[in-house]
Amino acid sequence: MEAKAKTAPSFEDALNKLEGIVESMESGDVPLAALLTKFEEGTALLKVCEMRLKDAELKIELLKKQKDGSAAFEPLTVGRDA
């Protein structure tokens, strides 16, 4: 389970979890302590979503910048502390 904790969820999984957190927070039925915990979890998930979107944007830019006009994909070598 420790390896799973170090692996960031996919964009879709993180977004679904984030939407669930927002819905539960908006319901008004969550105690303050739980709200703070959910807020912290939501903030972490938001960072994951932003990271995934930025990585996708960088990959698209690599494809667009091919000198000969071909659509050759180059692996992205951006280090992340996910």
Q: Kindly report the CATH number assigned to the domain that includes residue 58.
A: 1.10.287
How far, in Å, CA of 71 to CA of 35, rounded?
A: 46
- Cite the DSSP H helix spans in 1-82: 2-6, 11-26, 32-64
Within a domain: 32: yes
What pLDDT is stored for residue 68 in this prediction?
A: 64
What's the number of domains the chain is made of? 1
Task: Report the distance separating Cα 17 and Cα 14, nearest Å.
Answer: 5
Question: In terms of residue numbers, what domain contains 16?
Answer: 10-64
* pTM of structure: 0.65
Helix axes 11-26, 32-64, angle to 10 degrees: 150
In a domain, 78, yes or no: no
Q: What is the pLDDT of residues 46-62, one digit of tens each?
A: 999 999 999 999 888 88
Which positions of the chain have pLDDT values less than 50?
1-5, 81-82
